[in-house]
Amino acid sequence: MTEIGTELAPIIREITQIQITAYAGAAGDFNPIHLDEKFAKTTQFGGTIAHGMMIAGLVSELIATSHKRTWPESGKLKLRFKAPVRPGDIVTAHAKVKQIRGTELTYSVGVRNHKDEDVIIGDATVAVVVE
């Protein structure tokens, strides 16, 4: 039985430039901030950064792992991007049940980097199957 405060097993990943480049190709987003180190060093970020949606995908993966088919059928994400993720960062996606309303769960979700900084925060809502 799920109750308020229940945490899902986190997903931990090291982010590499190879992954960022592959994501750019899959998403069709070739912004040089993600791909061109020389250009990216001239920006406020001081180097390349991962696509926000690439990192947000870890939250979706985390919820999908526990909720299988109900996640794509009923899931909703509301996220805020707080900080960039850089190649070499180790990030952890996390989720904790914060509300139960009928057959719907709301999780407090987020992604933290290896410096324990929030890079994404928000909520995920998903229907649960009653059997």
The string of DSSP codes covering 82-102 is -S---TT-EEEEEEEEEEEET
Q: Say if CB 2 and CB 97 are below 8 A apart.
A: yes
Structure tokens, 50: 């991962």
**Distance of alpha carbon 72 from alpha carbon 63, whole angstroms:** 10
The pLDDT assigned to 131 comes to 61
**Distance of alpha carbon 75 from alpha carbon 115, whole angstroms:** 29
Structure confidence by residue, pLDDT tens digits, 82-115: 999 999 999 999 999 999 999 999 999 999 999 9
The pLDDT assigned to 2 comes to 84
Every domain of the chain and the residues it spans: 11-127
CATH superfamily for 11-127 is: Hotdog Thioesterase (3.10.129.10)
**Distance of alpha carbon 37 from alpha carbon 35, whole angstroms:** 6
Low-confidence ranges of the chain (pLDDT < 50): none
**Distance of alpha carbon 66 from alpha carbon 12, whole angstroms:** 16
Burial pattern 11-47, b for ≥16 Cβ within 10 A else e, equals bebebebeebeebbeeeeeeeebbbeeeebeeeeeeb
